[in-house]
């Protein structure tokens, strides 16, 4: 069964450092997303991406965040200067079409120290 894969599964970084979280969406999917979940809280939307551009973003997705699809398979989330409050589980998701079910990767647990 096709699945969304994310690397690394866990990343520890020092405050102020840049991190790149990587995702390989399901191969025939055209819509890509990043969500995050702070421990004990609900899943929150960050950004959606379609046709090589951002189609929607939340207030959380400020200037320190960026997304990129550098090649035909990878989808990345970059956090330029990490803060302690960026510590969370980051989930990548993809869907085949608009108004279709989204499938989530297993997540990257980011810990900022």
Residues at the site binding another protein, with contacts judged by CB under 8 A: 31, 33, 35, 41-45, 48, 50, 55-56, 58, 89, 91, 93, 98-107
CA atoms within 13 A on the CB side of 42: 2
Q: CB 45 → another protein: shortest distance, Å?
A: 5
Strand partners for 95: 31, 102
Beta bridge partners of 61: none
Comparing CB distances to another protein, the nearer of 75 and 91 is 91
Q: How far is the CB of 101 from another protein (least distance, A)?
A: 5
Query: What are the residues whose beta carbons fall under 8 Å from the beta carbon of 59, sequence distance 6 or more?
Result: none
* Beta pairing, strands 65-68 & 75-79: antiparallel
Nearer to another protein, 14 or 51 (CB): 51
Nearer to another protein, 25 or 107 (CB): 107
CB 20 to another protein: min, Å: 19
Taking the complex as a whole, the smallest distance from the CB of residue 16 to another protein amounts, in Å, to 27
């Amino acid at each position: 069964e096709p699945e969304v894969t994310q690397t690394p599964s866990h990343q520890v970084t020092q405050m102020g450092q840049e991190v790149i979280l990587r995702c390989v969406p399901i191969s025939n999917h055209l819509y890509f997303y990043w969500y995050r979940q702070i421990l004990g809280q609900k899943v929150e939307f960050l950004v959606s991406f379609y046709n090589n551009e951002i189609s929607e973003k939340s207030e959380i997705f400020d200037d320190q965040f960026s997304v990129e699809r550098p090649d035909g398979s990878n989808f990345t989330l970059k956090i330029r200067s990490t803060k302690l409050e960026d510590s969370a589980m980051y989930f990548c998701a993809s869907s085949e079409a608009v108004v279709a079910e989204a499938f989530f990767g297993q997540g990257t647990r980011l810990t900022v120290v």
